[in-house]
Amino acid sequence: MILEVKKNNKELAVLEFNDGKFSIGHNCDARFSKFLSASIKKGIPVSFEVYDNNEKSFAMLTKIVPGSEIKPYMLRDFLKSEGYIVNELHPEIDSEINDLLKDVPDDSPDKRFITDRLPKMSHLERTYVLDALKSA
């Protein structure tokens, strides 16, 4: 998974996850890098629901997950909760979508809509668009 992190329309970092470890891209904002390092060192809060059989209801709990156990989606959610704009990047899917759109005229409203929205689409949206283009 690749995460693009922004704040105030400024790209702060691109984080890439491979085999349970992540790396920070070459153009990382220094303040963001310090914040990220400190957060990972002390652990990040992760919320989850637990069902209480006695009360017949759910309770929201939060625990601190140490840096070595942090998963990409946990970091994504944490950064969003801290006010960052976090976009998942999926270059392989984007490439397939662009290949399928290459024969569509550039003035097509559908092509413009897809290409304008592509950077902001979630993984689910991207796969839906890819599937729709393949079946068209």
pLDDT at residue number 68: 80
118 close to 94: Cβ distance less than 8 angstroms: yes
d(CA 15, CA 26): 10
What whole-number distance in Å separates Cα of residue 3 and Cα of residue 23?
Answer: 10
CB 6 within 8 A of CB 14: no
pLDDT of residue 112: 93
CA distance 8 to 135: 38
Give, rounded to a whole angstrom, the gap between the first and last alpha carbons of the chain.
Answer: 28
pLDDT at 55: 86
Q: 69 near 79, Cβ under 8 Å?
A: no
pTM: 0.76
Q: What is the pLDDT of residue 67?
A: 82
29-51 confidence digits (pLDDT tens): 999 999 999 999 999 999 889 99
18 in helix, strand or coil?
strand
Residues of the chain with confidence (pLDDT) below 70: none
Write down the residue that tokens 């990972």 correspond to: 40
Q: What is the pLDDT of residue 64?
A: 93
